[in-house]
Amino acid sequence: MSYMAQRVADFGTTIFYEMTTLANEHQAINLGQGFPDFAAPDFMKEAAVAAIQSDINQYAPANGRPALREAVAQKVADLYGLQVDPNTEVTILHGATEGIFATVMGVVNPGDEVIVFEPFYDSYVPAIKMAGGIPRFYTLRPPDWQIDEAELAALFNNKTKLIIVNTPHNPTGKVFNETELKLIANLCQTHDVIAMTDEVYEHIVFDGHQHLTLYNLPGMAQRTVMVSSLGKTFSVTGWKVGWAVAQPELSRAVFRAHQFMTFCGAAPLQEAAVTAVSQPKAFYTELTEFYTHKRNFLVDALKSAGLSPINTSGTYFVMVDIAKLGFADDVAFCRYLTTEVGVAAIPPSAFYSTPADGAGLARFAFCKEEKTLAEAAKRLQRLQKL
């Protein structure tokens, strides 16, 4: 008898764990996993310490500390012009990951279909499968990752319950434009489908692109769960403070699943998050400049090593076209790069339902200190000798 339940048996180990282990074994510069290697902002650390010192150390209310729910409601009002009730339309969760899982668990019935854009963030498909749902994939293709209306429309049918829209999109760096979001909004309304947006990179957009939220499109507020979190914006991926914004009926669905997953996240970090979420707009402008500089540096380094980075409009990732380099696939390339060149990247085939679709790509993260990126640039020059 297997001790492991069938529902998790074929999930395997995440590619991040595998590549980080290999990177550590070979002292490679880790441009694989998407977390900053620099210090979190002082004001965040001070707010967390102050919250613990003032003894905010017991359970938070299951839907989150009121001050944070209010701050999230204020943030979406200031930035997106949304009017949401902090008591009935905002739920604080243990990172966006719990937001994704609680939303899927809260709205998907066994046999329901869920549309996912691939390459996908790796928790979507396991969440859908654990809910008994069936993932249906729309493949975004490089270099533009554009959406074809007819191809997307063909995925919608009377079994479709949910579509997951991650913009800015990990791992492609695509920022969904208004036309694409309108297309998705129309399809959702025609087929009575709910949308879950994953907006964890909402403040990392480049070159004048604007992050737009599906929630804001006509007819979408009542059928959208907007998920985001602190991790990427405030360089605290380990804090795991996230939220879901949705009208009361959908919020209740998310909450019912959430209350029996974690009940609540870390109370002092929720309190500290109020300071973060209440930052003025200037904070986000500076963040854009900060990451634009890092993106440009890495893109130049990749080009000067003879690689072909694909244009990235948002997130802190850049995809590289490796199809013509003569490797068997992306895994072989990333292993070679880690063990022989000393730089780790992620093979994106793990983010496709048909892994071969990602075999010609590699994903690099640039949420790293200048000296880390400079050392990676130096090592990447070894590729010139290929």
Ligand X SMILES: Cc1ncc(COP(=O)(O)O)c(C=O)c1O
User: Least distance (Å) from ligand X to the CB of residue 329?
Assistant: 23
Which of 268, 88, 291, 270 minimizes the C-alpha distance to 205?
291
User: Least distance (Å) from ligand X to the CB of residue 226?
Assistant: 13
Element (H, E) at 187: helix 178-190
Write out the DSSP string of 272-336: HHHHHHT--HHHHHHHHHHHHHHHHHHHHHHHHTT-EEPP--BSSEEEEE-GGG--SSHHHHHHH
Does residue 166 bind ligand X (CB under 6 A)? yes
| Binding region for ligand X (CB under 6 A) out of 234-242, 289-297, 329-337, 342-350 | 234-242
Does residue 265 bind ligand X (CB under 6 A)? no
Does residue 365 bind ligand X (CB under 6 A)? no
Does residue 351 bind ligand X (CB under 6 A)? no
| Binding region for ligand X (CB under 6 A) out of 89-97, 156-164, 248-256, 257-265 | 89-97
User: Least distance (Å) from ligand X to the CB of residue 195?
Assistant: 15
Does residue 91 bind ligand X (CB under 6 A)? no
- Is 225 buried (19+), middle (13-18) or exposed (0-12) by CB count in 10 A? buried
Beta bridge partners of 114: 135, 162
Does residue 200 bind ligand X (CB under 6 A)? yes
| Binding region for ligand X (CB under 6 A) out of 18-26, 95-103, 304-312, 318-326 | 95-103
Write out the DSSP string of 259-281: HTTTSS--HHHHHHHHHHHT--H
Does residue 119 bind ligand X (CB under 6 A)? no
User: Least distance (Å) from ligand X to the CB of residue 161?
Assistant: 20
CA distance 19 to 336: 11
Does residue 20 bind ligand X (CB under 6 A)? no
Does residue 206 bind ligand X (CB under 6 A)? no
Question: How many DSSP H helices and E strands does the chain contain?
Answer: 13, 12
Residues that bind ligand X (CB under 6 A): 34, 95-97, 121, 166, 170, 198, 200, 229, 231, 237, 240, 242
